[in-house]
Chain A
Amino acid sequence: MPTRRVDLLVVGGGPAGLAAAARASELGVRRVALVDERRWLGGILPQCIHPGFGLHRYGRDMTGCELAEKLIDRVSSLDVDVYTEAHTVRMGYESYLSKTAEVLTPRGAFRFRAKTVVYAAGARERTCFEAGIVGSRPAGVYTAGEVQEMMDVWGILPGREAVVAGSGDVGLIVARRLTLEGVKVKAVVELMPYPGGLLRNVVQCLEDYQIPLLLSHVVLAVEGSKRVESVLVAEVDENLRAREETVKRIPCDLLVIAVGLIPRVELLAGAGAVIDPKTGGPVVNEFLETSLPGVFAAGNALVINDLVEHAMEQGELAAESAYRFIEDGGFRSASWKRVRVGDGLRFVVPQLLAGFRDVKLYLRASSPSENARLLIPELGKSVRLRSVRPAEMITLTLKAEDVLKAERLTVKLV
């Protein structure tokens, strides 16, 4: 198996990976390779044909596929070795300056030996089984991303009458998309008493089309042997348990599963990286370095992002860190502090800080609230947040000197 020695291997050619590869190349990292499993680059972006991408960074409201081409063009113009249809079978940590990846492509198998890795393999969708839905297993049960790909890449109409399980942004966007192709979306079913996605999407995707949003409801089961014929839906109580007496049947031929994303970290975990159960992604320090020295993570593989700009900036930070790692032969030792996740928050990324530089924290609230305060008691820091939604990532920049002066750090939302 031929060995390719590189300074940086980027695993994943979505927005985070493309941004990382471009930034690394622009910084002067000499041998940069990027591998992606699909036939085309862009990750999930090419199937995101709706606008709302790139507004903050480029000042233009682009569709996901337009942003993808922009990022791909940028990488194409740089000295990056791109491998598509390249499946990473295994990743390994050999030594401080040598990480391996065994990659299979139609043009043969390769072993990459890389000084650094930016792991940007993205996320997968939770399945109907993970959502606890029982019943039959007919055709017509697809995840929201799959429905997007069916319609907008392969030109398939997935059904005539749909029910969407989950009101996260992907589910809302797919509900609108289906409606515009003539599909009757009978309901979007949301477990929580509040919508999972952004309010702007609830308005533009559901209210604009009079699609009913059933809050505090759950899809219990699928019926139909060859094809979906109906689903059973019920109201839930305060403990999110189904109220049996409220079970009702909604006839449909399509059940869209939109109940969340999970970082794809199997390769990282296989190489020995520590995973944070709160995010599902790797534990990283302020360099976005995982517990494997010189292996960095960015994008949805690190933490589920809602803005593509965040995925991209994580990719760029990871690339900058990789560049520093290569130039300096690694990072020097320091006193790393674990950021403790207090009340009101689901997670904080990065999880380890040492105060080498200013750091942007990514946080997600556990539940919606108005006029909340983000507190770091050890720093006496208090930030007022007018409107907090779990669907919208909170970011907070900490100055290096603040991190240095604290013995420990706790972040909470009250």
Chain B
Amino acid sequence: MLDRVVVVGAGVVGLSIARVLSALEGLEVVVVEKEADVGWGASKANTGIIHSGYDDDPVNYPNRARLAVKGNRLWTTWAEQLSIPVDWCGSLVLARSSEDRRVLKELLARGIRNGVPALRILDGEEVRLLEPMVSEDVAEALWSPTAGVLSPYEATAALAENCVENGVKILTETLVKGVRVKDGSVEGVETSRGFIGAGWVVNAAGLYADEIARMAGVSDYTITPRRGEYLVFDKDAGPKPSRILFPAPTPVSKGVVVETTVAGNLMIGPNAVDLPRDAKEETYTTKEGLAYVWREASKLVKKLPGKREVIRVFSGLRPQPSGGDFIVRVLEELEGFVEAAGMRSPGLAAAPAVALEILRLMRLNGLDHGFKKRWKAERRAGLRIMDLGWDMLEKNVSRNPSYGRVVCWCEGVTEGEVVDAIRRGAKTIDGVKFRTRAGMGRCQGAFCRLRIAAILARELGKPIWSVTVKGTGSELGVGDVKSLLEGEDVAD
């Protein structure tokens, strides 16, 4: 068996698995990703919540229930090791009716059963002590202190950096077209960049996991794209909650959340609309969807800021598995094929636990590599100039003046930080954006996009018009400003 594992998909789950596997001696880990950067599927477009794990029914969805709780606990270590900022602010599930209150009791019971610590149902008065901005009709709430929020794209980038530091190869813009199977075991993957031989193929392909599975001859599940839309407010818009606010959940979803992101923006969303299976790229926002999110979010709090304070809307697709539960398994009849699929909510929370579970399953099925003597658990985050005190800031600027050259005025991101991001793997404008926050402010990049592009053009040695927003096909422009006129036959 080849000492190489190919992980299909560089989302938060795929990279968590790669991280864990990178600790093994003598095993080459290659992550293949069809997009131009890591984490551009479901991983970048979600609430960023590390759920505590009371939501998932252990009878119907045992993987979700088990791995969410375990993952939540593991994130406390992983986040620290990887320098991923997490706001462990806790969450409140708000009950506004007697039906809601009945649901809270169910969630509490389920949470206890799943092993979630510190859950408690609070009365209205206590709720308001924890969160003054909840709406008047909130009668009770399920308080879960172990829930937290992080920036999901920051987390994915951190995982990717740590993986690379530990020898993992991440191949972006590499599409898996086939899984080669011979005599009941995998031999590798056919990709848009050629064949990669491997003894193990880990399917962490998110929305496309069912298609990867089918390439390997596995067809016992399907993945449906479930769209969720979000609205993000300006940092100065408030009031902003200090806890994650949930409505009482329905069987379909946890409902529209009101939260403050780690960066300090009020964010509301998502709704949950199932799309046809061929709509896996339709991250559209819709008038109806956004209106629904607004309406539902308004029910949880006394007051949302004015619509004028919304700076961005976006949507993400969750990979909803046909059976509802995570598919975390090794198949008896197909040696070397491992699956971590259907990673809908609480996929982000469960990711570290999924990774360890995958390792355990692989061990049970022939992976006998020992651990490396030297493995870097820690990853140092890049500088964020605006978070430094003036003394540290001035030291950095005098050492490197590009840390004093602000290129994104809204978020205060400097050229030095942009260059760092490029050195850490950003090759696109969005890649820089997700690592530095440049372009995430009020003006949404109208002022800084071209400055960022100029830096990318310089660092990557390409013409500025060819710098892409999000990979091949999304170039900033179509050519030099004269390219249409020069290309034309002058015919008048």
Contact = CB atoms under 8 A, between A and B. Distances in A.
Contacts of A154: 450, 453-454, 464-465
B399 to A, nearest CB: 11
B450 A124 contact: no
A157 B446 contact: no
A143 B412 contact: no
B446 A181 contact: no
Given A105-B404, A106-B405, A129-B313, A124 B397 contact: no
A160 B478 contact: yes
Given A104-B393, A108-B394, A138-B474, A182 B485 contact: yes
B285 A135 contact: yes
A1 B446 contact: no
Contacts of A152: 481
Given A89-B386, A160-B484, A127 B443 contact: yes
Given A127-B444, A129-B313, A129-B444, A150 B476 contact: yes
A146 B449 contact: yes
A145 B447 CA distance: 9
A80 to B, nearest CB: 21
A156 B480 contact: yes
B404 to A, nearest CB: 4
Interface in B428-465: 442-444, 446-447, 449-450, 453-454, 464-465
B137 interface: no
Interface string A236-277: 000000000000000001000000000000100100000000
A130 B308 contact: yes
A373 interface: no
B469 to A, nearest CB: 4
Given A87-B412, A154-B450, A138 B469 contact: yes
B21 interface: no
B454 to A, nearest CB: 7
A226 B473 contact: yes
A124 B446 contact: yes
B313 to A, nearest CB: 6
Contacts of A182: 484-485, 488
A183 interface: yes
Highest count of chain B CB atoms <10 Å: which of A1, A124, A149, A269: A124
Contacts of A221: 284
Contacts of B287: 134, 220
A362 interface: no
Contacts of A181: 481-482, 484-485
A340 interface: no
B194 to A, nearest CB: 23
Given A108-B397, A108-B398, A135-B285, A156 B477 contact: yes
B286 interface: yes
Contacts of B404: 85, 104-109
B476 A89 contact: no
A142 interface: yes
A141 to B, nearest CB: 10
B479 interface: yes
Highest count of chain B CB atoms <10 Å: which of A109, A138, A159: A109
Interface in A114-171: 124-125, 127-130, 134-139, 142-143, 145-146, 149-160
A152 B313 CA distance: 30
Contacts of B312: 127, 129
Nearest to A111: B390
Interface residues of B, number: 60
Contacts of B290: 134
A261 to B, nearest CB: 11
A271 to B, nearest CB: 13
A106 to B, nearest CB: 4
Nearest to A132: B287
A225 interface: yes
Nearest to B463: A156
A346 interface: no
A37 interface: yes
Contacts of B470: 139, 226
B481 A155 contact: yes
Contacts of B412: 87, 89, 104
Contact of A157 (B447, B454, B465): B465
Highest count of chain A CB atoms <10 Å: which of B401, B477, B484: B477
B50 to A, nearest CB: 26
A227 interface: yes
Contact of A1 (B390, B449, B473, B481): B390
A87 B409 CA distance: 7
A130 B233 CA distance: 11
Nearest to B472: A226
A109 to B, nearest CB: 5
Nearest to A127: B444
A136 B279 CA distance: 13
Contacts of A143: 446
A200 B115 CA distance: 72
Given A143-B446, A156-B476, A158-B478, A104 B406 contact: yes
B471 interface: yes
B402 interface: yes
B407 to A, nearest CB: 9
A136 B473 contact: no
A154 B457 CA distance: 11
Interface string A37-77: 10000000000000000000000000000000000000000
Contacts of B385: 104
A107 B443 CA distance: 26
B397 A106 contact: yes
Nearest to A149: B450
A280 to B, nearest CB: 10
Contacts of A107: 397, 401, 404
A108 to B, nearest CB: 6
B279 to A, nearest CB: 11
B484 A183 contact: yes
B390 A109 contact: yes
A104 B409 contact: no
B337 to A, nearest CB: 29
Nearest to A269: B236
Contacts of A269: 236
B375 to A, nearest CB: 37
Contacts of A128: 444
B103 interface: no
Given A134-B290, A158-B477, A181-B481, A146 B469 contact: no
Nearest to B475: A139
A283 to B, nearest CB: 18
Contacts of A160: 478, 484
Contacts of A227: 473-475
Nearest to A225: B281
Nearest to A137: B314
Nearest to B429: A139
A127 B311 contact: yes
Contacts of A150: 450, 476-477
B186 to A, nearest CB: 30
Contacts of A138: 469, 474
B446 A125 contact: yes
Across the A-B interface, give the 9 residue pairs with the lowest CB-CB distance, nearest first: A182-B484, A87-B406, A226-B473, A106-B401, A139-B474, A156-B477, A139-B469, A226-B474, A106-B404
15 contacts: A85-B404, A104-B385, A104-B412, A107-B397, A134-B287, A136-B283, A137-B283, A139-B469, A139-B476, A154-B465, A156-B464, A158-B476, A160-B484, A183-B484, A226-B472
Given A87-B412, A102-B390, A129-B312, 13 more contacts: A89-B412, A107-B404, A109-B397, A124-B443, A139-B469, A139-B470, A152-B481, A155-B465, A157-B483, A220-B287, A225-B283, A266-B442, A269-B236
